[in-house]
Structure 1
């Protein structure tokens, strides 16, 4: 299941009801103590994470007299069918357990009594039958459903052993179920069974806090290492059993010889003593691992930034292991302040990594930050701005230019006034391609500039922007700077033109120093070499691809055909693999062999001419 929305009410600073939309990548930005970590803690409580504990001090101090705390989640991609028992299966829609939008909305409600939080009540907020006689059926026992069924005259062919069949038959007897959005408690009979089944489908929630020592003694490091030790021990268990048996035989022999000598003092005492091993040896407790890096230097002695990156890698590995062990399809990575102790270069890499993770099937990434450098790299549509609010305690803004402008102002994300040229590309995958090809050209031609590190170049993704690009766009659009546009040619459309042909011509007709290109090849992926693609993919697909990579073929489509319709590899899109992994394997000779070098070089030369 995928998390679509978080609902908070009376939890810490979140007074009244707050609904916070969640995407594949969602970033909570705001000043210190704005309430970013509170959202992560609420999710930890909802998903029953080991770090998720709630107590009376979590109740909002401005809550109404009920002292009722609500932590809720809305999910999509829930299972189509739920097995109640060996003979009955049902669906959430068939049980009227979906909300007005056809989504699964679960509320956990905590009440505070005598200064203590009691066990939560769990509800589905659903568009549910409320007509007399047909409400509350999910909490009724089989005998009660039979009586109710008889009273409304259900068909005699209905299997009365099945609660699912009885409920369906009863509801069908009503012309108007009077569906209304109500809270259906999931604590009795089939309602509880359904929740117990659903709980197993909830995403694995992995929380990485900001406040931690980041050493190899952290649980995220030690737990996976301990798992590795256990797995290794299982693989050599037969050899260890042999060792154990030999040790026991030797120890018993020593004990027996000792008893013989004891009998010299008292034969009765010796005959009554028998050596017994209390327990088998704990092999996994004999091993303790620590991490060392280059030149044998312990990780604990490395810089805090390196330690944190290593620790986060272990955190990811452990989270994925737990997801696989529990059979869960999705995972949510919640990472507080990933920029901590990181150089700005690493911060960019971290954001790119998180974006890649968020693109994978079943993965969602939640971040918090209040640092302008990191915030400037975030996609605009991912940003949730948290501020103090007199009426509701907190306010969560998103989606509007006013909100983005406020984020930029609050965090101090300012436009780069050194910009001399604006480079516009279609989407983020194009930027990833250029990020890898640009250095190849620089190594061969000193006149080529580094468009990613030269402050005179402002990069704009037309299909979506980061906060920094948004700021630059709003600042630079009034400066009359020349622009360089690079669009995929794609295929001819029904009107005999290419998709962006008119846009290219419009830019070229400006007479303001701007220039636009349509690629001579179909897409950026067509500038790759088949050897680079195979080197990137072969570790995961084994069999080399043999299709004819031409200027006009659908590269992604050809690979999909070769993979029998598979559109993703290891939950990452093929476009992702091609523009990053395959592009990483490109070289100057391969660019030349694909007749790509001169054309790409001409684009970069045009950019360079406009910064001087």
Structure 2
């Protein structure tokens, strides 16, 4: 089973995060407490490696302060030919692991649901119950053993199913789940890295045919012994319950070897014995890297894909997880970690997931494999997938990404032109408007868009870039001149060495507009409102024209909130909704088109 992506619902801050990709590698980026480690724990839960507790269940039940009714992690898997043949399943399968308030985890798959409820949870039934169902539905198995009983009933259930839903997974399918190897960068104990490595080797050893045969023999012996031990109990039940003719207790035993611990003792070349926690964080990290170099050798030595047969199970997918691996490492060892990640990602049947906010690591991968996790206003994690969708979306996500992790020196050195703007409204809308006007994204034109929180922040960034000889344009609302003395003409001339007219754009000033929102016509606002924020009767241009004398953006937002159930939550969402409704270049206000042309000239 090869995991391609997974979705999480009701797990801590991950109320509803869909389709986190499993790439080579996937980078989970974003600010602290944004949900990166939670996403990794959810992945471990899906693969059976994380014991979920009540504290992991997200809040969001029917009552205030109550937990959600269901916590689930859903994986989209690709099955190899051996798995398809063995379990009679399609090439693509959706599997989920979930818990409710009882905290009893269960695996289910999305598949046809048998019409008869008695056929929907066959794995939990005893041999006697399976035989009774076979008799009831007049089904004949090839052999009287439990695997053949299950196979016959599943085939019958599949032929008598009309709808799809969550049903139990076939026995043995979960043993084909990917193996998980975790590098915990924040841990001070390299023993954790050693344990992850040796756990992989142990699973690889146990998966050998000869070892499996010995384990199955031992399980059979234990089951037969337990069956004998249970016979007096079954007889006593029959004796005490006169209405019961017979009782059959059929124990099922699974002996799964587990690695308990891997103590690490060090002695320096000088003969001195040193406690690891007294040798410095850097030493601990370097030892961990040495362990993971060995892990890379092991992964790269894995057999390549071959033609699967019924006699030999193909090797399992391995997902290597790094949680902030650059913590406590200097720049040299950060590059070593990136080298390890690249090396492991190149191995067959191996995927790597890295949670980090280090631009050194983020810069080292294809931007399509970067996922931004951040908290929204309700303290719930939302996901931004970089490199997806249109060029405008690409640039918008890139701007959000950069804001989360900080402005990089590499950006300052290589971008051709910068556009400094006030806030999120411009950050969301400008890429869409630029793309519509110029028929390419700002990034493709060599323009880096930076939202700076407010007009002063934009001014500070523009001044910094200007003094360092970079091409920059500062675009702020025209009302900045009257509301902030830093934007008075004399101050701007002093800031930009009398070249303020080349650098600063007071948006809308030429036509008497005070802010970005005023540039768009009343007709366009009305058309957008009827499409995106409808009310019980149509909006008209006059509704918006009546607000032109006040603070237009604030008054429009208040009006939408008062009359529409679908009103935007804030000005940024309002501007994004408006920009997304434009479909012709001429609908972009001329003041903005003039700015975009200037940017093209600067970038060129």
TM-score normalised by L of structure 2: 0.47
Greater helix content: 2
